[in-house]
Amino acid sequence: QVQLVESGGGLVQPGGSLRLSCAASGIIFSIKNMDWYRQAPGKQRELVATITSSGNTNYADSVKGRFSISRDNAKNTVYLQMNSLKPEDTAVYYCSVFLSVRYWGQGTQVTVSS
Residues with Cβ < 8 Å from 12, sequence gap 6 or more? 18, 85, 110, 111, 112
71: left (phi over 0), alpha (psi -120 to 50) or beta: beta
pLDDT confidence of residue 31:
81
How far is the C-alpha of 88 from the C-alpha of 67, rounded, in Å?
14
pLDDT confidence of residue 28:
83
Cα separations in angstroms, 37 against 55, 64, 74, 109:
18, 14, 23, 12
pLDDT confidence of residue 110:
98
pLDDT band at 41 (very low <50, low <70, confident <90, very high): very high
pLDDT confidence of residue 54:
94
- Tens-digit pLDDT profile for residues 11-34: 999 999 999 999 999 888 778 899
